[in-house]
Amino acid sequence: MKILILGAGRVGESVAESLVSEKNDITVVDNDPARLRALQDRLDLRGVVGNGIQPSVLKEAGAEDTDLLIACAPLDETNLVACKVAKQRFNVPTAIARVRSPEFVDGAELMQRDGFAVDHLLCPEQTVTAYIRKLIEHPEALQVLEFAHGLVSLIAVRAVAGGPLVQHALAEIPALVPGADMRIVAIYRQDTVLPVLDGATRIEPGDEVFVLAATEHIGTVLGALRHRAEPVKRVMIAGGGKVGLRLARQIEAQYQLKLIEPHAARCEYLSTQLAAGTLVLNGDATDEDLLGDENVQDMDLFIGLTGDDEDNIMSCLLAKRLGARRVLAVINRRAYADLVQGTTIDIAISPSHTVIGELLAYVRRGDVEAVHSLRRGAAEALEAIVRGDRKTCKFAGRRIDEVPLPKGAQVGAIVRGLHRADGSEAGDEAKPQVIIAHHDTVVMPNDHVIIFVPRKRMVREVEKLFQVSATFMF
């Protein structure tokens, strides 16, 4: 696939990084030759220096035969105009724009063909906010990802001794946790995935367990793997940037919220945007006196959300030391994130990473509905729609154990009923049904299948299984 990326900033770089290894031809356009050179040295891609909204620059970058444009320059206006130019002048089939302003909405009139002609809007701030929000709702989880319009969730959780399922074999799950159907799709022990999962595999304390279950059962699943934590009531956010503000707006009604921001002018703005009950504090989140004065020891959750990795790490370490129950840091640099995840800092979130999934859904072959990149890109969970029938597709009409899945890849759940018989979206009349997969579950055409792929290189094989082939004969 030929991909044109506009802007070699933080998002552009990580997008390039995650797509470059998938046999894509990538061209990156940026104003800054030094940054492009650095990127070119590190990754196998082409850099074009220039302003990405100029047709001549786009042409030089090969816009004419590009399959996908991802505009992630720092300014919304650049990205929107670039999409318009690429679509109208060069007929690029798919254009994705990163926008920061929440006022631009996907599918709105402004984004349609005769508007800015954007197929999909990418808003990393929005994605990260949603991600963190899930973790506030489910404080025991490491990660909660949604599939099939939110019907099914993939939950990552660290098993703790004392949970009903811990130190038991997988075969005992239905007996131990009746009522909530779930499927464990992967277990990571000491950061390596267990190669085989069968009925005899035992869950040990400290394991990182990935479970697929209906979204309504998240609570039960978490309770099965560790004792339930007290629900979160008090939250402190360090950093009132775009994500901080979005998050605060969304959660201020349900939680007691304190927001720390070092810039006085920004504080003023934040306090006008937030309800009167939310405290906006002007100060440095790494100032232990401030944290102490504001009772960080009583916080159920401390979130480091400043733009600076070091500040986030240090303030989280400090908050934890002072007694915050759980701390969560947003860390942009991958090396840092790997370094601190699971240490004193309970959860490290890398924002650029969370948006990759949305892009991958466009890059993947087959009818892929959603992709979530996991464990910093090492693993992937994807939701694909089964098309064709028994003759043309390797999934349709077969039991799951008949499908030639690569070793380690697991079908976790199936959602049936989101489409009509002819394959069109059922919309409001859909009566979706979540089926947690077992080895003898039969996959039907138009099912959404959710698959966990523990190693990225297996993704291509899995993709192929979903492709409808005219020549495929059994």
Partner 1 sequence: MGALAVLALVGRMVVLFALLLLVPLAFAVARHDAGERAFITATIVTAVAGLLMSAATRRFRRELQPRDGFVLVGMTWLVLPAFGALPLVLAVPGLSVTNAYFEAMSAFTATGATALSGLDGLPLSVNVWRCFMQWVGGLGIIVLAVAILPLLGVGGSQLFKAEFSGPLKDQKLTPRIADTARVLWGTYFGLSLACFLAYRAGGMGWTDAFLHMCSTVSLGGFSRYDASFGHFQSPLLEMIAVVFMMLAGISLLSYFAVWRARSAGPLLRNPEVMAFYAAIGGAIVLIAGYLLWHGAYSEPMQAVRHTVFHVVSVATTTGYASTDYAAWPLFAPLLMILLGCFATCAGSTGGGIKMIRMLLLLKQARRELVRIVHPNVVNPVTLGTTAVSDRVMQAVIAYMMIYGASLVGLTMLLLFSGLDVVTAFTAVIACVNNIGPGLGDVGPAVNYGGLTDFQTWVCTFAMLLGRLELLSVLVLFTPQFWRR
Calpha distance 123→305 (Å, rounded): 16
Q: Determine, following the binding rule CB under 8 A, whether residue 271 of this chain makes contact with partner 1.
A: yes
Toward partner 1, which CB reaches closer, 241 or 351?
241
Toward partner 1, which CB reaches closer, 281 or 386?
281
Q: Determine, following the binding rule CB under 8 A, whether residue 237 of this chain makes contact with partner 1.
A: no
Strand-strand pairing, 301-304 and 327-330: parallel
Judged by CB under 8 A, which stretch of 219-227, 268-276, 313-321, 366-374 contacts partner 1?
A: 268-276
Toward partner 1, which CB reaches closer, 229 or 290?
290
Q: Determine, following the binding rule CB under 8 A, whether residue 102 of this chain makes contact with partner 1.
A: no
Smallest separation (angstroms) from partner 1 to the CB of 232: 21
Toward partner 1, which CB reaches closer, 274 or 328?
274
Smallest separation (angstroms) from partner 1 to the CB of 314: 18
Q: Which two tokens stand for residue 297?
A: 């020891």
Q: Determine, following the binding rule CB under 8 A, whether residue 282 of this chain makes contact with partner 1.
A: yes
| Residue 394 CB partners (closer than 8 Å, separation 6+) | 403, 404, 465, 472
Contacting partner 1 within 123-182 (CB under 8 A): none
Q: Determine, following the binding rule CB under 8 A, whether residue 268 of this chain makes contact with partner 1.
A: yes
Please write down the HEC assignment for all residues of the chain: CEEEEECCCHHHHHHHHHHHCCCCEEEEEECCHHHHHHHHHHCCCEEEECCCCCHHHHHHCCHHHCCEEEECCCCHHHHHHHHHHHHHHHCCCEEEEECCCCCCCCCCHHHCCCCCCCCEEECHHHHHHHHHHHHHHCCCEEEEEEEHHHCEEEEEEECCECECCCCCEHHHHHHHCCCCCEEEEEEEECCEECCCCCCCCECCCCCEEEEEEEHHHHHHHHHHHCCCCCCCCEEEEECCCHHHHHHHHHHCCCCEEEEEECCHHHHHHHHHHCCCCCEEEECCCCCHHHHHHCCHHHCCEEEECCCCHHHHHHHHHHHHHHCCCCEEEECCCHHHHHHHCCCCCCEEECHHHHHHHHHHHHHCCCCEEEEEEEHHHCEEEEEEECCCCCCCCCCCCCEHHHCCCCCCCEEEEEEECCECCCCCECHHHCCCEEEECCCCCECCCCCEEEEEECCHHHHHHHHHHHCCCCCCCC
Q: How many residues bind partner 1 (CB under 8 A)?
A: 18
**Which one of 267, 360, 368, 414 is in contact with partner 1 (CB under 8 A)?**
267
Smallest separation (angstroms) from partner 1 to the CB of 33: 41
Q: Determine, following the binding rule CB under 8 A, whether residue 322 of this chain makes contact with partner 1.
A: no
Toward partner 1, which CB reaches closer, 265 or 421?
265
**Which one of 9, 205, 283, 323 is in contact with partner 1 (CB under 8 A)?**
283
Contacting partner 1 within 244-263 (CB under 8 A): 261
Smallest separation (angstroms) from partner 1 to the CB of 261: 8
Strand-strand pairing, 327-330 and 347-349: parallel
Smallest separation (angstroms) from partner 1 to the CB of 162: 38
Toward partner 1, which CB reaches closer, 191 or 268?
268
Judged by CB under 8 A, which stretch of 56-64, 279-287, 326-334, 389-397 contacts partner 1?
A: 279-287
Contacting partner 1 within 291-320 (CB under 8 A): 293-294
Name the residue type at position 302.
F
Judged by CB under 8 A, which stretch of 3-11, 171-179, 286-294, 408-416 contacts partner 1?
A: 286-294
Smallest separation (angstroms) from partner 1 to the CB of 260: 8
Which one, of 43, 41, 51, lies nearest residue 25 by Cα? Answer: 43
Judged by CB under 8 A, which stretch of 93-101, 210-218, 282-290, 387-395 contacts partner 1?
A: 282-290
Judged by CB under 8 A, which stretch of 213-221, 264-272, 319-327, 388-396 contacts partner 1?
A: 264-272
Toward partner 1, which CB reaches closer, 44 or 293?
293
Q: Determine, following the binding rule CB under 8 A, whether residue 280 of this chain makes contact with partner 1.
A: yes
| Sign of torsion over alpha carbons 330, 351, 225, 146 | positive
Q: Determine, following the binding rule CB under 8 A, whether residue 279 of this chain makes contact with partner 1.
A: yes
Toward partner 1, which CB reaches closer, 280 or 434?
280
Q: Determine, following the binding rule CB under 8 A, whether residue 103 of this chain makes contact with partner 1.
A: no
Toward partner 1, which CB reaches closer, 38 or 290?
290
Smallest separation (angstroms) from partner 1 to the CB of 263: 10
Does residue 216 contact residue 152 with C-beta atoms inside 8 Å? no
Smallest separation (angstroms) from partner 1 to the CB of 429: 31
Q: Which residues bind partner 1 (CB under 8 A)?
A: 261, 264, 267-273, 276, 279-283, 290, 293-294
